[in-house]
Structure 1
Amino acid sequence: MPVDFTAIDFETANSSGASACSVGLVKVRDGRVVEREHRYIRPPFPHNEFSEWNVRIHGITPEMVANADDWSVHLPALREFAGDDMLVAHNAGFDMGVIAKTSTALGLEVPDFRYLCSLQVARRTYHLESYRLPVAAMAAGFEGFSHHDALADAEACAAIIVHSAARHEVDDLDRLAHVTRVKVGAIGPVATRDDRAAHGPMALQ
């Protein structure tokens, strides 16, 4: 179906959400991937220690990001790449947390983005024993990719959303969220204001 969105995936240096070391971005227009981008990120101090466990998972070492730009350069690039798109990620709370925490660690304003979780959409679309990214992506017809490579994972995530939209016969992500009963999330100042409006004193009256 002709859905438009930007899929995103992060890898981190350690267990800190502020330790982004790699990002993959995939732009989808009319249900097709039209642009891809991968960037290494130099994590901010004191979140820049690489854990052995994380390196074993994604293969990114301190040397690979030593000369990379930090998030202050990558954030404007993300804004430009995504524009007004809704972001999509698998287990989106993690990736949105990386955006928010890495931005905060560098004293940057958390950007406004709406987002949809492909993991939750997959749970409402397929009947699988596991909804991990490789399994859900296989159900969407996307397989044989390098899991934990940020760009490959973003492409897999995009494939899940495009395939799910087709199965549910919808042509935009708000409608996909509605029919699958998955909440559209938001980060940034607008999300904070909306949350206060919904849960503040006036909301109780």
Structure 2
Amino acid sequence: MLNDVTIFDFETTGLSGQNDRVIEMAALRVVNGEIVTEFETLVRLDGRELPPKITEITGIRPEMLVSAMDETIAFKMLRLIMGDSLLVAHNAAFDLQFLHWAMQRIGGKTFSNPFIDTLTISRARHTYPHKLENMCERYGIKLDGAHRALNDVRATWELLKAMHLEESVEPWINRLGYLSKYPPPAWVPEHATTFATENRYEPRNAG
């Protein structure tokens, strides 16, 4: 299944896939280890406000979205790129819910693609912290400009390869871990197996 993957990432107006909106998306379609398609676009908000906090995090300003791509066109292009491939994201529970709710609004459907969450694997294999930038640092992966979709997607692809080289990631297909101190994700694909997990920490120095 790793011979045909789509690594994708969304920047959004907030945390709710149902109520918030995607403002930037990016995807890499990879076949037999080669990038065959690269896609990146800003997405128009159509009357919605862009929270200042999001601009602070991403650098995306309201005026940048005025002439951006229409949401329906953007998601139709993304789905065309994804096809039936294995979807990959860091913190996939977040991105998958935005994909689901956008597809619901646009066409009244969802997706059935298998997926891998590199964050779930990170928590299983490594001590805290597990953000994409932390994991890139662990594996010596260059990440310029975190929290911009295409930069994050390229880094996630490199992270997936490094993790798979270390030990096969195929057992993690369709598995989503969530921190036990929080409730399970509000929405997950029907084919997902969810489980509670804990962060592991480096032991404190005795001295």
In the alignment, structure 2 segments of 5+ residues that lack a partner are 178-188, 193-207
By percentage of residues, which structure has more helix?
1
Amino acid paired to 2:53: W
Superposition deviation, residue 110 in structure 1: 2.4
CA distance in 2 between partners of 1:42 and 1:111 (Å): 23
Alignment deviations for residues 15-55 of structure 1 (CA, whole Å, 9 cap, x no partner)? 4433100001112233344432211111356xx21101011
Secondary structure at the counterpart of residue 39 of structure 1:
strand
> Aligned residue for 1:55?
55
Residues 24 and 39 in structure 1, CA contact (< 8 A), matched pair in contact too? yes
Taking structure 2 as the reference length, what is the TM-score of the superposition?
Answer: 0.75
Structure 2: distance between partners of 1:63 and 1:90:
28
Map of 2:26 onto structure 1: 24
User: Structure 2 vs 1, CA of residues 8 and 83 (structure 1 numbering), >3 Å: closer, same or farther?
Assistant: same
- For each residue in 1:89-148, what CA deviation from the matched residue of structure 2 results, as whole angstroms up to 9, or x when unmatched? 1110110111122333445422332211110112233x3431110011222331242100
* Partner residue, 1:150: 149
- Secondary structure of 2:26's counterpart equals strand
Structure-1 residue corresponding to 2:140: 141
Is structure 2 residue 42 aligned with structure 1 residue 40?
Answer: yes
Residue segments in structure 1 that go unaligned for 5+ positions in a row? 186-190, 196-205
Output aligned runs, 1:1-205, within 5 Å: 3-17=3-17, 18-43=20-45, 48-106=48-106, 108-125=108-125, 127-168=126-167, 170=168, 175-177=170-172, 183=175, 191-192=189-190
User: Displacement, 1:82?
Assistant: 1.4
Cα shift at 1:157: 1.1
Percent identity over the alignment is: 25
User: Are the counterparts in 1 of residues 24 and 149 from structure 2 also a CA contact under 8 Å?
Assistant: yes
Tell me if structure 2 keeps the 8 A contact 1:121–1:161.
no
Distance 2:78 2:150 in 1: 14
Bigger drift between 14-23 and 89-98 goes to: 14-23
**Residue in 1 that maps onto 2:196:** none
Which position in structure 1 is the counterpart of 2:199?
Answer: none
Name the CA shift for 1:107/1:84 in 2 (closer, same or farther; >3 Å).
closer
